[in-house]
Amino acid sequence: MMIWILALAAAAAPPADDQALVEALRQRIVAKSVEKTPAEMKAYKAPIPGSDAAYEMVPIPGGTFQMGSAGKPDEQPVHAVTVEPFWMGKYEVTWDQYRLFQFATAEIKDAQADAVSHPTRPYMEMSFGMGINGYPAISMTQHAANKYAQWLSARTGHFYRLPTEAEWEYACRADGAAAKIEDVAWYEANSKGKYAKVGTKQPNAWGLYDMLGNVMEWTLDAYVPYAAGAQKAPWTKSKTAYPHAVRGGSWNDKADQLSCTARVASDRSWKMQDPQLPKSIWYLTDAQWLGFRVVRPLKTPSAAEMDSIWNNGVEVEP
C-alpha cells in the first residue's frame, strides 16, 4: 500500500520545466516585445491564437506608494514600495480563456505551448453551476494559475505572470481614487450567493474591473509578514505549499472584508473535499470564490527568473 501511495505522489508531481523550453520562450518574447519605454505602453486587446477567446490588458504606470494600512496586524507596517511599469488584465481570467488551457487538445499545434504542463481532467464540474461564458474561472491552485500564465505566454509571445502583492495593491489603489463599494464590487450583500460576469460593475480609476469582490485573486507572493523600510519591486518566493497571498475579497465576503490592503492566506482546507490521493496540484475544490488575473511587466526578466516565477508555489501533498 505504501509503495502504491508513493507511486501516486510521484505521478502527481509536476515535471520540472525543460530549461531549453523556457529559454526558447524568452527568445520569442523578446523578439516580439516592441515597447521599450513607459510612454509606449498602450491598452490592448489580443486574441488567444487558435480560439475565439480574447483578453484585454491595461497599462499601469510605475510609481511609489505607501503599502499596507494601520488597521489589521498583517497589513503593517506601512512602508514605501516602488513598482515598475506593467500591464494588468482588465478583467479576471474567465472560463472562456482558462478552459482552453484546462482542456487543451492536439487540434491546435504549438510546440512551446503544448510542452507546458496542463491540468489533469477535473473530477467535478468546477464552475459549480454558477456559469461559464464570461464568468471568472475559479478553484485553481496557485500552481495552476502560474502554469496558465506560462501557457498564455507561449501562445501569444508576451511574458505573463501573476501580479506580486505590491503590484496588485498598487493597481487596486489606482492612484488614490475611491469609489462606493456597491458601485465597483459584487459581495455578500448583492451577489445572490454566486459570482457575476466580469466587468458588470464600474472599473477603478485605472480601468480595472472587479479588483474588489466577485472572486479573490491569487498573487505571486508567499504570505509572510511585511518587512519594514522602503522596498523596490518586492516579491517573496514560496518555500512551502502554503500559505500564498490572496487579495481583493469575493462575492462571499462582507463589505468590510473588501479593501485594497486586505490580505488572505491560502490554506490546506481549501481542498478538503478533493477525493483524490494524493490531493490534486491543480484544483481547490473548496475555494469557489478564488480566481486570478495576469500582468505583463514592461521589462522582460531572464529565463532563470521566468522559470522561478512559473514554477513558484508548486503543491505536492500526501
pLDDT surpasses 80 at 63: yes
**DSSP type of residue 139:** S
Q: How confident is the model at residue 135 (pLDDT cuts 50, 70, 90)?
A: very high
Whether residue 12 has pLDDT greater than 60: no
| Confidence tier at 5 by pLDDT (50, 70, 90) | very low
Sign of CA dihedral 139, 16, 279, 221: negative
At 17 the pLDDT is 58
**Measuring CA to CA, which residue among 244, 186, 192 is closest to residue 212?**
186
Averaged confidence pLDDT in the chain: 90
Residue 77: asked if its preceding bond is cis (omega within 30°), the reply is yes
Cell of 232: 523596490
pLDDT above 60 for 210: yes
Region 118-136 average pLDDT:
93
Question: Which string of DSSP letters, residue by residue, matches 87-130?
Answer: EEESSPPBHHHHHHHHT--TTS--HHHHTS--PPPPSS-TTTTS
Sort 161 into a burial class: Cβ within 10 Å, 0-12 / 13-18 / 19+: buried
Q: Mean pLDDT throughout 48-77?
A: 96
What's the grid cell of residue 190?
Answer: 448583492
Domains and CATH numbers, the chain: 16-310 (3.90.1580.10)
Beta strand 295-297 with 86-89 is antiparallel
Question: How would residue 171 be classed by pLDDT, with cut points 50, 70 and 90?
Answer: very high
Q: What is the pTM of this model?
A: 0.92
Q: pLDDT of 263-281, one tens digit each?
A: 999 998 998 887 676 788 8
- How do residues 219-245 score in pLDDT, each as one tens digit? 999 999 999 999 999 999 987 778 999
